[in-house]
Amino acid sequence: MKNHSTIQEFILVGLSSYPEHNMFIFWAFFFLYAAAIVGNLLIILAISSCNKLHTPMYFLLINLSVINVCSISTTIPKMLQTILAQTKTITLSGCIAQVFLFTWALGTELLLLAFMAFDRYAAICHPLHYTVIMKKDISVGVMTGLWLFGAINSSVHTGLVLQLSFCDSNIINHFFCELPPMFKISCSDTSLNEIMVFAASVIIAVGSCGLTLASYWFILRTILRIRSAEGKKKAFSTCSSHLLVVSFYYSTIIYTFLRPASAYSLEEDKVIAILYSVVTPVLNPLIYSLRNTDVKEALIKLKDKCWLFKKD
């Protein structure tokens, strides 16, 4: 029987088993990856260069963009490389690195989205105390804690994957190394792994979703009490972008990781994985920039600065 120490590489099936589809997939995901990287880096640069945006809300948005860059960079470059090289192999160490980094980014993002909802709750429901509730030390401290908690959660899952044996197959029916498809090919008892994934999903995904919904319940109650239509519109516009992101993200994550292993459909899960691992990092900069006047103004100022620098 082979175990994790004897297998040196895995084979990633990818998104299609038909070679004639590969170049279409390559260019589609190349442009999606480029859009995600450029969009998120622009958000980071625009917020960093604009003093007006040095507030807790935009500090959290910078962290979201960093997570998006890390998340999509963990999976897509390797997929593009396998298509170009016409070899679908990934080393054991590369696969473990993908599991750790992607799980870290995933868990941290879920927690961050809940903290962003709390930030909007504090801003709308307690505007007079907002600067005290979300002062710099608290924001930085909580954000550091979220990154650490995400790393610990990822370390636990990665450590458990390292204990699995893979004796029947090293073919992963996915476009990157993710926990559910790795459980599928293991000949070990994966019940502990599945329990830990379920527990993490309940604590992190469902818990974060619950905190987010609770925050928005109080936000909605406060908005409905505002008498002027203009006031209601302004209050809702500050959190509508975040609500769009969390609705899309939580639904796909909870659907993927809360099901028992017997209910996994790997072909269906690959499509869902594209939504939360590729589409979300692409959409986040668009949602937060197109629906946010301050970010749009900061992007215009950044463009003007770059133009002046080129002229000099």
One-letter amino acid of 201? S
| pLDDT the model gives residue 264 | 62
Any domain includes 4: no
The answer to whether 56 and 139 are in contact (CB under 8 A) is: yes
| pLDDT the model gives residue 87 | 81
The predicted model gives 96-118 an average pLDDT of: 93
Any domain includes 3: no
| pLDDT the model gives residue 4 | 45
Any domain includes 17: yes
Of 78, 108, 59, 134, the C-alpha closest to 208 is 108
pLDDT, averaged across the chain: 84
The predicted model gives 122-133 an average pLDDT of: 90
In this prediction, residue 5 has a pLDDT band, given cuts at 50, 70 and 90, of very low
| 234-257 residue pLDDT tens | 666 666 666 777 777 787 787 777
| pLDDT the model gives residue 18 | 76
User: What are the φ/ψ torsions at residue 17 (nearest 5 degrees)?
Assistant: -95, 0
The predicted model gives 245-272 an average pLDDT of: 73
| pLDDT the model gives residue 2 | 44
Any domain includes 2: no
Any domain includes 201: yes
Q: Which domain holds residue 293?
A: 9-311
Any domain includes 132: yes
Place of tokens 């099901």: 259
For residue 231, the tally of other CB atoms under 10 A from its CB is 12
Using CB atoms within 10 A of its CB, is residue 105 exposed (0-12), middle (13-18) or buried (19+)? Answer: buried
The answer to whether 208 and 111 are in contact (CB under 8 A) is: yes
| pLDDT the model gives residue 101 | 96
Q: In this structure, what token pair is assigned to residue 109?
A: 């993002």
Long-range contacts of 206-212 (CB under 8 A, 24+ apart): 206/254, 206/258, 207/114, 208/110, 208/111, 208/113, 208/114, 208/250, 209/114, 209/246, 209/250, 209/254, 211/114, 211/117, 211/118, 212/113, 212/114, 212/117, 212/246, 212/250
In this prediction, residue 219 has a pLDDT band, given cuts at 50, 70 and 90, of confident
Q: In this structure, what token pair is assigned to residue 60?
A: 């959290």
**Is residue 183 left, alpha or beta, with left meaning phi > 0 and alpha meaning psi from -120 to 50?**
alpha
DSSP result, 147-194: HHHHHHHHHHHHHHHHT----S--EESSSS--HHHHHHH--S--HHHH
Cα–Cα distance for residue pair 286/111, rounded to 1 Å: 21
In this prediction, residue 222 has a pLDDT band, given cuts at 50, 70 and 90, of confident
Place of tokens 């919904």: 213
| pLDDT the model gives residue 173 | 86
> What is the domain-level CATH number for residue 132?
1.20.1070.10
Indicate the DSSP class of residue 226: -
| pLDDT the model gives residue 84 | 85
Cα–Cα distance for residue pair 142/56, rounded to 1 Å: 11
**How many separate domains does the chain show?**
1
In this prediction, residue 1 has a pLDDT band, given cuts at 50, 70 and 90, of very low
